[in-house]
């Protein structure tokens, strides 16, 4: 186990339930965590910060553009579909080509999981922002339509005004999910609760920074 970094790339496989020792059924999300390969190391002298860049999921070489192909060739690793960085204070324990797997995490830990939420297309105020809506009786003419947009003397719509528009397909981070089980052989992590995104969607798993500072086990720069 590598104690330097507590972060990994993966994908959401789906949801199921597990039974605890006391007989309670708990909803869990099954995540595939890695394996990830270290593709590059960022150095403070050259880049101004220390970090590792990891690649996840195999991809055919003909599907990689020339700049990325050269990047992987320089590192001496096979092309990967997804690249991600994890900033560190000290990453001397890792080298290019090292592999990160699901055994970075242990049962009982709390993790943050980031993913791309499901795209809902163009949505109205009721669905997008949870507006209450107008009267449902006959003759109302304003069941789900938006009402006043606010001030009119400005002759413009203020930034951040909640209105109908594109919903979903944005990065969402769920913090403090509990790791219930870890399967190192299959690179699977079971976390309690829901994770954003559809099955097969890319995710990023990290240890909460607050927990890191308190325990002092892993050093991560935000």
Model confidence pLDDT, tens digit, residues 46-77? 888 888 899 998 889 889 899 999 989 988 88
Residue partners of 34: CB distance under 8 A and separation at least 6: 8, 9, 10, 56, 99, 100, 101, 102, 187
pLDDT of residue 6: 73
Per residue in 188-217, pLDDT (tens digit) is: 999 999 999 999 999 999 988 764 444 444
Does 181 fall in a domain? yes
Q: Examine residue 35 and say whether the peptide bond preceding it is cis (omega within 30 degrees of 0).
A: yes
Specify the pTM: 0.79
Residue 122 lies in a domain: yes
Share of the chain above pLDDT 90, in %: 44
pLDDT value of residue 186: 92
Query: pLDDT value at position 123?
Result: 95
| Domain-embedded: residue 142 | no
pLDDT at 135 over 70: yes
Q: Is residue 113 predicted with pLDDT exceeding 90?
A: yes
Q: What is the rounded CA–CA span in Å between residue 164 and residue 150?
A: 14
**Taking residues 99-125, what's their average pLDDT?**
92
CATH classification of the domain holding 104 = 2.40.30.10
Cβ–Cβ contacts within 10 Å for residue 201, how many? 15
Q: Does 135 reside within a domain?
A: no
pLDDT band of residue 26 (cuts 50, 70, 90) is very high
Three-state DSSP state, 68: helix
Domain holding 114, by residue range, is 7-127+162-215
What's the whole-number average pLDDT of the chain?
85
- Quick check: is 18 in a domain? yes
What's the total number of domains in the chain? 1
Residue 63 DSSP class: G
Stronger pLDDT, 90 or 201, i.e. the higher one: 201
Q: Which position has the higher pLDDT, 2 or 135?
A: 135
Closest C-alpha to 186, from 5, 35, 59:
35
Whether 143 is covered by a domain: the verdict is no
């Amino acid at each position: 186990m590598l104690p330097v970094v507590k972060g990994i790339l993966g994908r959401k496989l789906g949801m199921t339930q597990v039974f605890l020792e006391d007989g309670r059924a708990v909803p869990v999300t099954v995540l595939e965590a890695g394996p990830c390969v270290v593709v590059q190391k960022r150095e403070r002298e050259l880049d101004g910060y220390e970090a590792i860049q990891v690649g996840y999921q195999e991809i055919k070489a003909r599907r990689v553009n020339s700049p990325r192909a050269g990047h992987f060739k320089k590192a001496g690793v096979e092309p990967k579909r997804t690249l991600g960085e994890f900033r560190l204070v000290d990453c001397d324990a890792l080298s290019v080509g090292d592999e990160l797997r699901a055994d970075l995490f242990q049962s009982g830990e709390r993790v943050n999981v980031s993913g791309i939420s499901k795209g809902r297309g163009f949505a109205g105020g009721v669905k997008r922002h949870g507006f209450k809506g107008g009267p449902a009786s006959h003759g109302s003419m304003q069941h789900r339509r938006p009402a006043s947009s606010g001030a009119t003397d400005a002759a413009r719509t203020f930034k951040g005004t909640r209105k109908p528009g594109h919903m979903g397909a944005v990065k969402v981070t769920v913090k403090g999910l509990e790791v219930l089980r870890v399967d190192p052989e299959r690179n699977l992590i079971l976390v309690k609760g829901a994770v954003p995104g559809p099955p097969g969607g890319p995710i990023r798993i990290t240890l909460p920074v607050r927990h890191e500072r308190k325990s002092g086990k892993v050093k991560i720069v935000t």
